[in-house]
Amino acid sequence: MTLDILLENLLATGCPVQQNEPMRLHTTFKIGGPADLFASPKDQAQLGEILALCREAQVPVTVIGKGSNLLVSDEGIRGVVVHIDDGFGGLTLAGPHTIRCGAGISLAKLCLFALENGLSGLEFAWGIPGSAGGAAYMNAGAYGGEMKQVLTRCTHITPDGRLGAFSGENLKLSYRRSAYTDSDYVITSLELTLTPGNKDQIRAQMDDYLSRRKEKQPLEYPSAGSVFKRPPGYFAGGLIEQCGLKGYRIGDAMVSEKHAGFIINVGQASCRDVLQLIAHIQRTVLQECGVPLECEVKHIGQKE
């Protein structure tokens, strides 16, 4: 099946689909070439139809949320990019201390909903520019908190359209990983169990974390957040700074002078610029400190 026929079939589901959509418009790095087809399903049923059509056509599928931990190739992404966003944005209380939310809801909205209902446990996520589904996918964390502490269940859909769920230990949550990290299952909703708390104290903690982020992180520039996983016994940013790499630049990709753990896009950085800078940082830190750095940002699309 050609992409033109697949496009017709996708549009017939009622799903909005764009051709040759620039991925730089859908990532916080503001980097990335065109996706052949870019689909934004409105609900789980439509998502199931899209996945089935792509499977029948033997066309690859790439699933994204808010694009906050992604580096997309300059050559773009072949096949269909499925955008889990507003169509998966519900927020409800499923119990006295349990929130059920769609995978496309932003962490900001999720944190505010928890605050409004006097529920504590998500304060660490305030200011992280991602979706709930993305946070579950990679077990996002900051300031000593992580999704593992609050996430109790995820529902998903498989490439052949089957519905399922993982809960408890079956979520396999560990440092920046989950049961979904190496699977092609698409998270559709989450359940989080939180702790009753004082709204003023919850708000104060959220404000404190956001203030720290603004003070220490280069939020004024496009980036994909922290580039490297934390090596055992060290902080990646500290090692990079120790090697004198703050401000080091390849093209328009630069090691932040505010926080060395961030690579920022100071203009029109390409994916190639970022990859070369990552490789230079890894080589330098290994040579000078003897510590290997593992990249946390996910590189997707045509390989450079």
| Active site positions, annotated | 176, 226, 296
Structural Rg of the chain based on CA atoms: 20
The whole-angstrom separation of Cα 143 and Cα 271 is 29
Q: What is the DSSP string of 47-72?
A: HHHHHHHHHHHT--EEEESS-TTEEE
What is the torsion angle, in degrees rounded to the nearest 10, for the CA atoms of residue 27, residue 31, residue 36 and residue 38? 20
Which residues are 77's β-sheet partners? 35
The alpha helices in the chain, defined as continuous H runs, are 3-12, 44-57, 107-116, 132-138, 199-216, 236-242, 271-289
The whole-angstrom separation of Cα 211 and Cα 216 is 9
Judge whether 224 and 263 are in contact, CB under 8 Å: yes
Q: Give the three-class secondary structure for 237.
A: helix
